[in-house]
Structure 1
Amino acid sequence: MIRKKLGFPVKVFYDVLIYQTNKASLTLHVYLVPPDPVLQQAVEREEKSDASKRIRKPSPDKPLQMENHFLLTTDTDVAEICPNKLKLTCERRNPNFFEVFIRNAERDFSLKLESEEKRSKEKDTVWTCIIRKDDYQKRSSYYEQGQHFVDRHRTALINRVKDTEAILDELKDRGLISNENYDTVRALTTTQNQMREIFRFLNSAGRRGKDAFYEIMKGMKHLRPLISELEGSG
């Protein structure tokens, strides 16, 4: 801080933290944070409260220039990145992040972080990494020993999931259940019977329907403790 006040350039080692959000399309949050356990744990808590998953990648191996702007780019032209640049400051609370959005992601892609000098505007690559398809499309979330999550935990889900109306609305919005089937399920008098009927329709929809059902439940905040419990039980 003293060097900064005297006008000397200040360089600091920073870590890159990457989180995959719980959204249907691939959405990453890419943070630049100092190696401060308290700050990094705060970021971790914030992201995990929204059911985000950490993607671990190496951090830059050289210090970064404070007060410079940093730009994040990819080698795929379908990616949307916001904001287009971030300024590296000493701000310790609520660190900002890059949001990387790729609809229908189906392949490996690279991320590149560049530093832009304040005066010259010249760019210097300070970090790169490869995000592989296996990093963000983990079959283990859906499948274990060849069995889908919703099939493996069918009984627990039938007995413990109560918010069937919200699930039905999501399934209908995604085109996975017809108006007639939607009305059929809603006419049933218990949530257990409604869930059994939902499972019957999901079996007809195949893997796409089961994947969507799993994603819908993970996106419902009050169901996250149950889903985490079942995921941990194997």
Structure 2
Amino acid sequence: MRLEKPDRVEPHHAVLENPKFSSLGVVFKKLFKLKINTVVLLYRRLRLETPTLHLYLLPNDPSIIKAVNDREVNSKKIEKPPVTLKPLTIGSQVSLNAPKDVTVCPEEMTFQYLDAEKLQQYLELSAEQMQDKFTFCLMNTGTKEIVWKAHLKKGELISEEMDSPVLHPAQGPQPPNSSNMHFIERHREALIQRTTPVEPVLDRLHGSVLTHEQYQKITAKETNPEKMRELYRLVPSWDLRCKNMLYEALMAKIPHLVKDLEGR
């Protein structure tokens, strides 16, 4: 960039006659790809029977890292070397090379630089059974280069559960229930019509009950009733733990509505 001296200055604008602009700027913008220093954060979800991890690939930006730490309040951070082996360009496709007994969803993701206020994408890893130790690598899908590598021991997933025990489907806090139906099933229609706002409730469920894709699909609906109907489409596939977590989210965010319905 360079400063040009205007030919004349008017009250509301400046005039530059016969400017000599170069088209090289456009060429450089096409060719130049900014490399961003990146970090990997790994969290173990608590209160889940199946060992489940969230893996974030983020710009090394303190505000974004803090936002993720705040969001993963129901998780325990697994300390691994966070800095990637090399910077990444925005738009790079990455995938996780993990053992066969580990399920990774989604299989790939695109490295992005999102504002701290936005939801950050992550890879979810889960394993019903796992080895005593395994290694997984984050790879650049295009170049096949290893971006980040870590060793994880089985003890890092199953130890220290005393601080937050697993809730089995038949355990945990039970909502008041005067019939065989769960609270959220008994008051389906009322909750669809009267839950407002819906987003704080969804935020509590994101990552534990709702996947990132499900969360985005629900929040894309225009009205609160439409969002709740979309949420209720998932209820038949839920176990008791998930239903209890929805009840707890409603109690935390809209307690007056829950108490009103319980009094009926």
CA distance in 2, matches of 1:65, 1:18: 21
Is 2:78–2:156's contact at 8 Å kept on the other side of the alignment?
yes
Any residues of structure 2 matched to 1:79-228 within 5 Å, and which?
Answer: 79-92=102-115, 93-117=118-142, 122-138=143-159, 140-142=160-162, 163=174
What TM-score do the two structures reach when normalised by structure 1?
0.55
The one of 63, 70, 83 equivalent to 2:94 is 70
Deviations 1:16-61 (A, max 9, x none): 011111211011110001121221111112111xx11111111213
| Structure-1 residue corresponding to 2:39 | 15
Q: CA deviation at 1:71?
A: 0.7
The one of 64, 85, 91 equivalent to 1:39 is 64
| Structure-1 residue corresponding to 2:78 | 55
2:75 maps to amino acid: S
CA distance in 2, matches of 1:67, 1:220: 35
Q: Which runs of 4+ in 1 moved over 2 A?
A: 2-7, 89-93, 140-143, 161-166, 219-223
1:87 maps to amino acid: T
CA distance in 1, matches of 2:127, 2:174: 30
Gaps of 5+ in 1: 144-148, 150-160, 170-215, 224-234
CA distance in 2, matches of 1:136, 1:115: 26
Q: Which structure has the larger Rg over C-alpha atoms?
A: 2
CA distance in 1, matches of 2:86, 2:107: 22
Higher helix share: 1
Higher relative contact order (CA 8 A, sep 6+): 1
CA distance in 1, matches of 2:173, 2:30: 61
What TM-score do the two structures reach when normalised by structure 2?
0.49
Deviations 1:74-93 (A, max 9, x none): 1x211111111111123232
The one of 25, 28, 50 equivalent to 2:53 is 28
- Structure 2 CA distance for partners of 1:85 and 1:162, relative to 1, 3 Å: closer
1:58 maps to amino acid: P
CA distance in 1, matches of 2:102, 2:173: 37
Is 2:58–2:113's contact at 8 Å kept on the other side of the alignment?
no
Is 2:102–2:130's contact at 8 Å kept on the other side of the alignment?
no
The number of equivalent residue pairs is: 150
- Structure 2 CA distance for partners of 1:89 and 1:4, relative to 1, 3 Å: farther
1:25 maps to amino acid: T
Q: CA deviation at 1:125?
A: 1.0
